[in-house]
Amino acid sequence: MSGSDDDRTGRSEATAGREERPPADRRNDSRTDRPAVDLQDDRERAVSSPEPDRGDSEPPAAPGSRRNRVWAALLLSLAVVAVGTAGTILVAHDAPTAAAGAAVLGVGLGAAGLVGRTIAPSLLSTLESGWAEHRPYVWFSAALFAVGIALGVALYAAGVDLTELLLEMLTEDLGEGELPGGGVDPVGEITFEPTASFFIANNTPPFLAAIAGGLTLGLATLLIMVFNGLLIGNVAAVLGAETGPVLILALIGPHGIFELPALFIAAGVGFRFVHRVGQRIAGSRDALFTKAYLARTTALVVFGWLLLVLAAFVEAYVTLLLADALVPL
């Protein structure tokens, strides 16, 4: 009996001891059973890194990401095209100055790709961020250009020929002495030998105008895209009916794969600016201009203009060679 009483007494004391422990002790014990989570870094990031550019759709690409590798490969591919163009110029046209210019362009593009993959990955990250922000507007610009092409073909079907207008636009502000390689042949006709500098000088103003068109709430940019598409669509339809579509593709394709994306990028920058203005007015954007926005937009614009320069070398020295090889005249 006494042994049983002692056991009951010991159990009752142990039970009483557990009941007398304060709730705070039990909470402390329960915390020891779970892994501790320190939220200090999260709080510091929330305080020290406020969102600088509210309204962007995608975060910037991380250095070394797959998207950066794609941009590096693109820059290196363009470098190969530029260097190959330089070799073609030197061999087929014996124009060392133009060949040197194309070679310098190729070296610059290749260096940007290599540096972005090794020493300064932030370069490619900035370029990718600019593309990610402007991509929908670039596609919108391409769609407007396609609408213009459709309108140009429709005008041709209605009997409208704009080739004379195109020729007038090319020679309106250029006198005979200002034409690169220009002169007069024995029958009195003006001869014209295209150069890369000529195409750069004539294609850069529309490129810049498409960007500045954002200041007109995008109206000028829209007109530039639709009108250029309309003109190209109509002239291609007129000449294609006479010579066949293969020659038209040969005359437009080699440099168009560089020139048209450059123009779409410029227009995309203009349309994106209009959208940012609208966001700022609506209050969904804290600032119209930020350092990050200016940096990534500048990187994209420079890339687009370099595409335009590459297109100028190809158009001046390679397009006619390829067209003649595909469709001998």
In contact, 144 and 229? CB cutoff 8 Å: yes
Question: 3-class DSSP state for residue 149?
Answer: helix
Higher-confidence residue: 214 or 22?
Answer: 214
In the predicted model, is pLDDT for residue 299 greater than 90? yes
Give residue 167's pLDDT.
Answer: 75
E strand or H helix at 190: strand 190-191
Residues 6+ apart with CB under 8 A from 236: 149, 152, 248, 252
What is the model's pLDDT at position 132? 95
Domain boundaries, the chain: 132-174+193-326
pTM of the model: 0.78
Burial class of residue 187 in the structure, from the number of CB atoms within 10 Å of its CB (0-12 exposed, 13-18 middle, 19+ buried): exposed
Lowest mean pLDDT among 28-42, 93-107, 245-259: 28-42
Query: pLDDT tens, 178-214?
Result: 445 544 444 444 456 789 999 999 999 999 999 999 9
DSSP structure class, residue 179: S
Pick the most confident of 17-21, 28-32, 74-78: 74-78
pLDDT of residue 122 exceeding 60, the answer is: yes
pLDDT at residue 247 in the model: 83
Lowest mean pLDDT among 90-104, 163-177, 268-282, 284-298: 163-177
Taking the CB of residue 168, how many other CB atoms lie within 10 A of it?
10
